[in-house]
Amino acid sequence: MISKFLLSGDTPRSKVLAALLVLIVLGLALTPFIFPGAKSLNVAAKICIFVVLVASFDLMLGYTGIFSFAHTMFFGIGAYGVAIALTHLPPKWGSVGIGVAGALAVSILLSLVVGLFSLRVKAMFFAMITLAVATAFQTLASQMSDITGGEDGLTFKVPELISPAFQLREQPFLGVTLDGRIIGFYLLLVAVVVLFLVMLRIVNSPFGRVLQAIRENAFRAEALGYRTVVYRTWTNVLSAVFATLAGCLLALWLRYNGPDTTLSFAIMMDILLMVVIGGMGTLYGSVVGATIFILAENYLQDLMKVGSTAFAKIPVLKDLVHPDRWLLWLGILFIVGIYKFPLGIVGKLRMRLKKAAA
Amino acid sequence: MSETLLKLEGVHTHIGAYHILHGVDLKVAHGELTVLLGRNGAGKTTTLRTIMGLWKASAGTIQLEGREIQAMATPDVSRLGMAYVPENMGIFPDLTVRENMLLAARAAKREDQIDPKRLEWIFGLFPAMKKFWQHPAGLLSGGQKQMLAVARAVVEPRKLLLVDEPSKGLAPAIILNMIEAFRELKAADTTILLVEQNFNFARQLGDQVAVMDDGRVVHAGPMAELAEDEALQTRLLGLSLASHQ
Amino acid sequence: MTAPSTPAPGMDALPKVRKDFVPLFLIPAIALLALPFISPSTWLTLTFAGLAMGMILFILSSGLTLIFGLMDVLNFGHGVFISVGAFIATTIIGTAAGWSDSESLLRNLGIVLPAMLGAMALTALLGLIFERVIIRPVYGQPLKQIMITMGGMIVGQELIKVLWGPQAIPLLLPGGMRGSILLGEAAIEKYRVVAVVIGLAVFAAMMWVMTRTKLGLLIRAGVHDREMVESMGYRIRRLFIGVFVAGSALAGLGGVMWGLYQQSVVAEMGGAVNVLLFIVIIIGGLGSVGGCFLGSMLVGLVANYVGFLAPKVALFSNIGLMVIVLLWRPQGLYAVGKQ
């Protein structure tokens, strides 16, 4: 029943994976209680947001076979939408609504234009064009300082319910003060879960199955009567919508947004790493990938610091394990992952089950 | 009886999920012109491409002078002495006629290294080549391009020519020219495997004939036999030579 | 393609030889378009700056366009060769800083030329490794290619930081190349003249190879119809490796020149210029050296004119240029018809 209704029939299909997912969800939900402190709450919030961001990217890449560099652009549009609205309007939920609505409108329009103009071309062309558009947008955002706050970005107040100063109750609950941050975190978590389940429903619908058919063999799909351009455009739009919403959530959480927060190429790379490590075309892969990556980003560096001091006397080796170079190792993991584990962690876990059953 | 130059045994070819060749058996004898006939989609072009290694045979063997070549890469197959004139002619339009020919002459690094006697003979077969020597090949007419394609294939001596529908879309006058050229090639002891749909064209040139249908060779034998047996023609090709005059 | 040809008279008719000169007029067109908005002396400076930048862009992107034309491989990690080339140059020049600072152009060349050659040699080697390890396993799989070449770029950038440190390193212009020449009221930077000279030399060399050698024939034919070239007995894989290595070496050279242009090198510099290179090769037509040259000139000019007139929309203007060109010729200015 859970599987049919909630998960749209797309179960983890692997005991290990299911356990992992439950662990992650519980870990996130109970973060304020198990891992107290501002840093861990921030890490948990970031994981939640990136789950949506990466899942929407997986919708395009893993399910439909489209590579778009413009994903971070829509992420940024969402964040800037909320940021600009809350900068110029009073910090109320109505303003947030206006920001979100405006951002969605822009995203839908842009994704339609990009989709229709470029989806008729080969994958390489599309990738190049989206790269150019995304880069241009990033430059624009940092230069239109009147609206976007330029390089410095925008800092703003959020509605009272989720602002840090707000307190639901005087006494702490189970050792945790119920302030606006906590409330905001749980609202974020609920929103993310809902969005993820909606995406799960989309990819398991007849629409989703056509997408997979297009990914496998576009010619065949076209021959069978499915207008691939239409489906691909729809995917572009849907993916952009979810990315935009993720951006809105991010802005609400950070109470800040700047060009590097959402639009940088580094974030694009992060998304890519997460989706490949987690497993393309699975959606659950984004959960696993986001968690692993963001935990590594924040805590692996401490580990590497240990190694770096241990090797302090050896010239090149000490630089190789220097905590700032954690991206090097993730990059190597990424390349190896594409060769040896094209299905990612989720795919590998699922294959184990198939093999055991065979 | 001349010995076998090329032998296909039980060759199957799959393209993606499609099973195109279902066990092709074919023999091409040295010094003869063998015609591969059949309807559209019978697998004639696929057979040629499989021999050249452009598509890999999924089963069966292909032997050139007794040596198995079905697993070899295309450049290596070509270097064993095969030349291929594909259906679309494979002309490089941005290169001049001269450059096309130079490319086809593997041993030559410059124009003056192409065998001049050979060139003269080719100009004799196809006078237009001399005239358009410095022109971009893309500007040639269809018939001229076809001539260039064949000229390229013979600019150096080759053991075996694979030619795919050279008469397609050509005006009758040019087809006559083509037939002359192939006759001269045959006289020069070149072995040719020719794919054709035009039976009239094929009949004038072929020594042996193999008819394909549904990815198999359903009939093989001397051309003269088939040319005289109208009932057989109708059964295999759905036509009779008399009405095709 | 096999249209029925005309009978005997058509057989003897000489086809008209048409050379496609129309796109070349875009260069003076754009230059003249900018003229009314800028004072003549500034216009002269900007035009020269644009041409110089165009030359560097050409050197950076020529390999990229041939690689794509020949094997349908788009190297999103091309920037790593650019960065590595620039960093190697800093090391080599650093060994003889005195020669670099000297005012004598001869001394300058004495250290800058080895730096360029050294950079090219090492990026060529890097290209060989890159092709083997990163690209070869993913031929014919565009999505994987995009991802894996980007992965290669990340790893490359991080390795640069390991070897040279994470900070930007200055790459000062040699003493003899600093300053400007005055043409009336227009100041033309000496280095830009050097860039134009080197760029023209590279272009001339490439065109010579492409039109006068059999290797060039192979490349031009292979870009159009790879299968046919293989059917003629040429191992196009080897050709591709050669072109890839040459393209990487050129990127290394371009990296040195780009580093000198900006007077500083940083690990991300290659990645940053990648977008511009893609725009250049799309405008020029994938697989065409002449198109790449033309595209580079146009992008360089537009970047400098718009960079002066309206800096905020500089990148957009180049995207706009690309869109306009694609609307006119969807395959680029000098498209190579692919079989």
pLDDT in tens, chain B (245 residues): 468 999 999 999 998 878 999 999 999 999 899 999 988 888 999 999 999 999 999 999 999 998 999 999 999 999 999 999 999 999 999 899 999 999 999 888 888 888 888 889 888 888 888 888 999 998 888 888 999 999 999 999 899 999 999 888 888 888 888 888 888 888 888 899 999 888 888 888 889 999 998 899 998 999 888 888 888 888 877 764 444 44
Tell me: pLDDT of C5 over 60. no
Looking at per-residue pLDDT, the higher value among C30 and B82 belongs to: B82
pLDDT band at A55 (very low <50, low <70, confident <90, very high): very high
* Closest to A153 measured CA to CA, from A80, A97, A46, A78: A80
What is the bridge-based pairing of β-strands C186-189 and C180-183?
A: antiparallel
How far is Cα C220 from Cα C213, in angstroms, rounded to an integer?
A: 11
Can you tell me the ipTM of this complex? 0.91
Give residue-wise pLDDT tens across range A255-272: 888 888 888 888 998 899
What is the bridge-based pairing of β-strands B82-85 and B67-68?
A: unpaired
pLDDT at residue A13, rounded to an integer: 76
Give the minimum alpha-carbon distance from C154 to chain A in angstroms, rounded to a whole number: 6
pLDDT at residue A358, rounded to an integer: 58
Task: List chain B residues with CB under 8 Å of C12.
Answer: 128, 131
pLDDT band at C112 (very low <50, low <70, confident <90, very high): confident
Q: Which residues pair with B220 in a beta bridge?
A: B210
Beta-strand runs (E) in B66-172: 67-68, 82-85, 160-164
Tell me: pLDDT of A238 over 80. yes
Measure CA of the first residue to CA of the last residue in chain A; give whole Å.
27
pLDDT at residue C117, rounded to an integer: 94
- Once rounded to an integer, what is the mean pLDDT over residues C196-215? 92
pLDDT at residue C13, rounded to an integer: 54
Out of C68, C161, C274, the one facing A325 most closely (by C-beta) is: C161
- Once rounded to an integer, what is the mean pLDDT over residues A326-330? 82
pLDDT at residue A344, rounded to an integer: 85
Give residue-wise pLDDT tens across range C123-178: 999 999 999 988 888 888 888 888 999 889 989 999 999 889 888 888 888 877 78
Which residue from A minimizes the CA distance to C313? A140
Give the minimum alpha-carbon distance from B136 to chain C in angstroms, rounded to a whole number: 7
Token output for C114: 């080895």
Task: List chain C residues with CB under 8 Å of B52.
Answer: 231
* Lowest-pLDDT choice from A70-84, A135-149, B182-196, C118-132: A135-149
CB A78 within 8 A of CB A246: yes
Name the residue with tokens 């599987």: A3
Residues 203-222, chain B, touching C (beta carbon < 8 A)? none
pLDDT at residue C298, rounded to an integer: 94
Percent of chain C with pLDDT over 70: 93
Give residue-wise pLDDT tens across range C31-62: 888 888 888 888 888 898 999 999 999 999 99
B90: left (phi over 0), alpha (psi -120 to 50) or beta: left
Tell me: pLDDT of A295 over 60. yes
pLDDT at residue B23, rounded to an integer: 92
- Once rounded to an integer, what is the mean pLDDT over residues C270-284? 90
Out of C134, C142, C158, the one facing A328 most closely (by C-beta) is: C158
Testing the interface with C: which of B141, B147, B155 to mutate, by most C Cβ within 10 A? B141
Using DSSP, state whether C286 is helix, strand or coil: coil
Looking at per-residue pLDDT, the higher value among C26 and A313 belongs to: C26
Greatest extent of chain B over all pairs of C-alpha atoms, in Å: 54
pLDDT band at C10 (very low <50, low <70, confident <90, very high): very low
User: CB–CB of C319 and A334 under 8 A?
Assistant: no
Give residue-wise pLDDT tens across range C219-263: 999 988 999 999 999 999 899 999 999 999 999 999 999 999 888
Give the minimum alpha-carbon distance from C146 to chain A in angstroms, rounded to a whole number: 8
